[in-house]
Amino acid sequence: MYVGCAGWSLAREYWPQFVEHGTHLERYATRMRAVEINSSFYRAHRPATYAKWAASVEKDFRFSVKVPKAITHELRLQNCSGVLDAFLSECGALGDRLGCLLIQLPPSLAFDPVIARPFFEQLRTRYSGYVVIEPRHESWVQAEPLLIDHCIAQAAVDPSRISNDRTPAGWQGLRYWRLHGAPRIYYSAYGPDWLEQRAREIASTSSDGVATWCIFDNTAQGAAVGNALSMMALLKELGTA
């Protein structure tokens, strides 16, 4: 069970719940077991930077790394082998701390198996680890057989974007929840009742030992940290954390 945030920034109100010394990542990792790196979506990081991050956390900590927008939004999954190779050589410096790759697609990118299949094949010849995708065009509900064939999970998302993303879909060897905040996406904190209900859902799907991630992306005003800490406590009560 991996619960964390999209980024390791710590809002000042939560500082007392973390150790006082160290980098933000080092302090964050004393309470959390996972983090999603979203900055990789916007710019490349040197392998030395990834290696430094990996050395800052305990051996059971895992990073989920977002695939660059150059691949998903600019090249739109086509003719991207060079960019993909560069990205994998960079984030590969995380070593065994690399837990997952996240592919977030633009809302305008419809599912086309003629494009998607070669991309997934390229990816899988280069990377055998966990992969999760967050499509945002309704046509991707047709992609489930292809995702299963390539061992790619589909994220459960809140707020929901398409008709089959309320629960984890695609390949069931990984389950991944991305919670963006509601009603105001990226800003709103989730309340206790909502978190308890979601914790029970997550616990029920993780009972078979499948790797399960729960990432809070409502980071704009720091709500993610508090929600992640609450979720960890709830899952512990349910015997799954």
What per-residue confidence (pLDDT) applies to 205? 79
- The per-residue b/e assignment along 202-227, b for 16 or more CB within 10 angstroms, e otherwise, is bbebbeeeebbbbbbbbbeebbbbbb
Q: Give the Å distances, CA to CA, from 77 to 99, 117, 127, 208.
A: 22, 10, 16, 33
CATH class, 2-237 region: alpha beta
Q: What's the pLDDT band for 22 if we cut at 50, 70, 90?
A: very high
Please check the confidence at residue 241 and state whether its pLDDT lies above 70. no
pLDDT in tens, 48-98: 999 999 999 999 999 999 999 999 999 999 999 999 999 999 999 999 999
Please check the confidence at residue 25 and state whether its pLDDT lies above 90. yes
Quote the tokens at residue 232: 């960890």
Quote the tokens at residue 93: 């410096």
pTM of the complete model: 0.96
